[in-house]
Amino acid sequence: MNARRDQDTLKELLTVLIGDDEPMIRDVLSEVLQAEPGLSVVAVAGDAEEAIVLAERHAPRVAILDVRMPGGGGAHAARVIRDRCPGTRVLAFSAYGDAGAVEEMRRAGVTEYLLKGLPNTDIVAAVRRVAAGR
Amino acid sequence: MSEQSPQEITQADHELLVQGVVDYAIFMLDPRGRVVSWNGGAQRIKGHRTEDIIGRHVSVFYPPEDVAAGKPARELEVAAAEGRLQEEGWRVRADGTRFWADVVVTALRDDTGRLRGFGNVTRDMSERRIAHSALGESEESFRLLVQSVVDYAIFMLDPEGRIASWNAGAQRIKGYRAQEIIGRHFSVFYPPEDVAAGKPARELEVAAAEGRLEDEGWRVRADGTRFWANVIITALFDDGGRLRGFGKVTRDMTERRTAERALDERSRLLTHLVHAQEMERRRIAWDVHDDTIQSMVAVGMRLQLLADRLEGPDASAVRRLNETVSAAIRRLRDLTFRLRPPGLDRDGLVEGLTSYLDQVVTGAGLAYELRHELDREPPSETAITIFRICQEALTNVRKHAQAKAVSVSLSSSGHGVLVRVADDGVGVGDPADVLATPDHFGLIEMRERAEMAGGWWSIRGRPGEGTTVEFWVPALAAGGEGGRG
């Protein structure tokens, strides 16, 4: 019964994967999202390759990826995840806001690009927006 | 002899004089054109002795074709009708050889006006003609030579500095055709800042005073592009010492200058320093981005979480703290953009400039327009030079111009990149004055950067007309390899 109820709960939860090579960001972002009702951080990765592996394993609804990170960078991770996990939407979360970086992520299939430093509420809103496919 | 009247003496002397003249043939014809007198000069020049020629018709001196054409008779008719006739033409000597003659025929009439005959004075001009003709031919050859030289612009100015002649080299180097440029003042070849400073007029003054002037500097082609010119102006005076105009020889030295600059030890050192500075800036920018900004972002997010758990004044205090952190992040981000826009390395000059304009210029409330017509991405050293000069110019626009909009244009031009940064602000005023002030708004640094790269830089901005910074740098790969192809 318990396992069955967990499955039901998971279906309703908005699952999130975080990929960022900066531990402080990973931790706080995880905390921010976890504090939101209906959101669940199912995996946290420290580089692109790990993000790909964890995304395949967990098939999260949303993957939040840093642009500059080891293992091929956010664009590489986004491309592979989009390919292998069609149900996962990718949101970029970057300290770089220049047009080139934004364009690179868009080409990799990223639907939304967030600049680090935005209010937490904006980040949460973006995650829900991306998950809803708007 | 002492009883002779003055008149007789005069007539006798006159006869001696005429007889003794050997440089001129002086002889008389009767009204029908037959020779009635003959002097020493006539014998020397024409080769006929007196006894052989007296009584013969003047037509004997003319070439057969002139005789056939009735020329001898016609000349006498004209002289009779008009009193005098002067003519240059071929005449025939007794031995059949020809000589070039200057001939004056004078009608001689008595007191009643009746025609008594003709006086004929003939001078042999052959040698002078040969000399003259040779000069004429060499002048023509010289003119053709000058016309066809393509490596040098060779042309003449009148004393006021208007263009009076044009050659193939001038057309090739300066881009004007003769019909477009003849009559225009030569100051059109100078950059606007030189014209404003009175340089063209001053160069003519120096050339006129000292005979010659040599100068090296930027000159402007018909299409507005510039080239590095070696110019020699020579003042041309006539025999009376009056200034007739100026000869101007201009050579395009742009490529040589660029090559020399690239090899120049000082340039190498400066290029190295600029490169080292850029690397250091990039390292600092990355460090600030990847470490400092990330940490502060994490701190800010945590402060927001904390504020959500607190209530009342504590929550407000923490929110204010978060705002301070956010503001610091924005400033750090601006700093990293100024240090080294990430787009510049990743996506090239246009993207780098776009990032900078988006971040810094738009951030300052200015509208911008970026136009670019680049054949290819310039080498990174060139891109950095262009970016840095634009950055300095845009900083001035933000801080001093009081402008609403700024436009930046990049275009490939003459193996390099021509850049224009123009605003609609108050105008910088006289560039010479601004450059002379201690707080010269980084103008000298901009100029030095452009010149160090082997290019040129200029600024103009009359009050109320906005300010335009314009510069060109050659698109050369590091090490001075030519960027052409």
Q: What is the distance between the alpha carbons of residues B357 and B387, in angstroms, rounded to a whole number?
A: 11
Rounded to an integer, the average pLDDT of A107-112 is 89
Q: Give the contacts of B366 (CB within 8 A, at least 6 positions apart).
A: B397, B398, B403, B404, B405, B406
Decide if B3 contacts B26 (C-beta within 8 A). no
CA distance A89 to chain B (A): 23
Q: What is the distance between the alpha carbons of residues B22 and A134, in angstroms, rounded to a whole number?
A: 117
Pairing of strands B367-373, B405-413: parallel
pLDDT at position B479 is 42
Paired tokens of B193: 């800042």
Give the predicted TM-score (pTM) of the model: 0.55
Query: Is B305 in contact with A28 (Cβ distance < 8 A)?
Result: yes
Q: Give the contacts of A110 (CB within 8 A, at least 6 positions apart).
A: A65, A74, A75, A78, A90, A91, A92
pLDDT at position A16 is 97
Paired tokens of B216: 């090296």
Q: To the nearest 5 percent, what fractions of chain A are helix, strand and coil?
A: 50, 20, 30
pLDDT of residue A19 exceeding 80, the answer is yes
- Same domain, yes or no, for B74 and B170? no
Q: What is the distance between the alpha carbons of residues B98 and B95, in angstroms, rounded to a whole number?
A: 9
What does residue B56 show for φ and ψ, rounded to 5 degrees? -90, 155
Mean predicted lDDT score pLDDT of chain A:
88
- Same domain, yes or no, for B427 and B475? yes
pLDDT at position B476 is 66
Q: What is the distance between the alpha carbons of residues B86 and B103, in angstroms, rounded to a whole number?
A: 6
Query: Is B326 in contact with A96 (Cβ distance < 8 A)?
Result: no
Decide if B137 contacts B157 (C-beta within 8 A). no
Q: What is the distance between the alpha carbons of residues A44 and A31, in angstroms, rounded to a whole number?
A: 11
The identity of residue B74, as a single letter, is: R
Q: Is residue B227 part of a domain?
A: yes
- Same domain, yes or no, for B277 and B362? no
Pairing of strands A62-65, A14-19: parallel
Paired tokens of A121: 């509420």
Question: b/e per residue, A70-90, with b = 16+ CB within 10 A?
Answer: ebebbbbbbbbbbeebeebbb
DSSP letters, A59-81, are --SEEEE-SS-TTTHHHHHHHHH
Last residue of a domain, one of B110, B125, B140: B125
CA distance A68 to chain B (A): 9
Question: Residue A26: which H helix or E strand, with range?
Answer: helix A23-34
pLDDT (tens place) for every residue of chain B, 485 residues total: 444 554 555 666 667 677 777 788 899 999 999 999 998 889 999 999 999 999 999 999 999 889 999 999 999 999 999 998 998 888 999 998 888 899 999 999 888 889 999 999 998 887 776 666 665 666 776 677 777 777 889 899 999 999 988 988 899 999 999 889 988 999 999 998 889 889 999 999 999 999 889 999 999 999 888 899 999 998 888 888 888 889 999 999 888 887 777 777 777 787 788 888 888 988 898 888 888 999 999 999 999 999 999 999 999 999 999 999 999 998 998 888 788 776 777 778 898 898 888 877 888 889 999 999 988 888 888 898 899 999 999 988 988 888 999 999 999 887 889 999 999 988 887 766 777 666 666 888 898 888 888 889 988 888 888 999 999 998 865 443 333 33
Which chain A residue shows the shortest CA-CA distance from B356?
Answer: A98
- Same domain, yes or no, for B90 and B207? no
Decide if B58 contacts B72 (C-beta within 8 A). yes
Query: Is A32 in contact with B305 (Cβ distance < 8 A)?
Result: yes
- Same domain, yes or no, for B234 and B166? yes
Decide if B415 contacts B226 (C-beta within 8 A). no
- Same domain, yes or no, for B443 and B364? yes
- Same domain, yes or no, for B364 and B468? yes
Higher pLDDT, B260 or A25: A25
The interface predicted TM-score (ipTM) is 0.88
For chains A and B, CB pairs below 8 A equal: 73
Beta bridge partners of A94: A115
- Same domain, yes or no, for B107 and B226? no
Query: Is A24 in contact with B298 (Cβ distance < 8 A)?
Result: yes
- Same domain, yes or no, for B205 and B156? yes
Paired tokens of B427: 């105008």
Beta bridge partners of B122: B25, B103
Total tally of structural domains belonging to chain B: 4
- Same domain, yes or no, for B401 and B466? yes
Pairing of strands B24-29, A89-94: unpaired
pLDDT tens for residues A68-78?
889 989 999 99
Residue A29 contacts B where some CB pair is shorter than 8 Å = yes
Q: Tell me the angle at which helices B265-287 and B254-263 cross, rounded to the nearest 10 degrees.
A: 70
3-state SS string for chain B: CCCCCHHHHHHHHHHHHHHHCCCEEEEEECCCCEECCCCHHHHHHHCCCHHHHCCCEHHHHCCHHHHHCCHHHHHHHHHHHHCEEEEEEEEECCCCCEEEEEEEEEEEECCCCCEEEEEEEEEECHHHHHHHHHHHHHHHHHHHHHHHCCCEEEEEECCCCEECCCCHHHHHHHCCCHHHHCCCEHHHHCCHHHHHCCHHHHHHHHHHHHCEEEEEEEEECCCCCEEEEEEEEEEEECCCCCEEEEEEEEEECHHHHHHHHHHCHHHHHHHHHHHHHHHHHHHHHHHHHHHHHHHHHHHHHHHHHHHHHCCHHHHHHHHHHHHHHHHHHHHHHHHHHHHCCHHHHHHCHHHHHHHHHHHHHHHHCCEEEEEEECCCCCCHHHHHHHHHHHHHHHHHHHHHHCCCEEEEEEEEECCEEEEEEEECCCCCCCHHHHHHCCCCCCHHHHHHHHHHCCCEEEEECCCCCCCEEEEEEECCCCCCCCCCC
pLDDT at position B10 is 61
Query: Is B333 in contact with A99 (Cβ distance < 8 A)?
Result: no
Nearest to B301 among A28, A95, A101 (CB): A28
Sort out which chain B residues have CB atoms less than 8 A from A120's CB and list them. Answer: 301, 304-305
- Same domain, yes or no, for B427 and B481? yes
Q: What is the distance between the alpha carbons of residues B426 and A99, in angstroms, rounded to a whole number?
A: 31
Query: Is B347 in contact with A100 (Cβ distance < 8 A)?
Result: yes
- SS3 of A15, please? strand
Share of chain A above pLDDT 90, in %: 68
Q: What is the distance between the alpha carbons of residues B265 and B261, in angstroms, rounded to a whole number?
A: 8
The identity of residue B372, as a single letter, is: H
Nearest to A100 among B304, B308, B343 (CB): B343
Query: Is B293 in contact with A95 (Cβ distance < 8 A)?
Result: yes
Tell me which residue of B328, B423, B317 sits closest to B366, measured CA to CA. B423
**What's the length of chain A?**
134
User: Domain range holding B204?
Assistant: 149-252
Residue A27 contacts B where some CB pair is shorter than 8 Å = yes
Residue A95 contacts B where some CB pair is shorter than 8 Å = yes
Tell me which residue of B175, B163, B179 sits closest to B225, measured CA to CA. B175
Decide if B213 contacts B232 (C-beta within 8 A). yes
Last residue of a domain, one of B291, B308, B340: B340
Nearest to A22 among B294, B300, B341 (CB): B294
- Same domain, yes or no, for B274 and B334? yes
Last residue of a domain, one of B236, B252, B268: B252
Give the CATH superfamily of A2-131.
Answer: Response regulator (3.40.50.2300)
Measured from the Cβ of residue B82, the count of other Cβ atoms closer than 10 Å reads 10
Q: Is residue B1 part of a domain?
A: no
pLDDT at position B130 is 64
* CATH number, residue B115: 3.30.450.20
Decide if A122 contacts A114 (C-beta within 8 A). yes
pLDDT at position B133 is 62
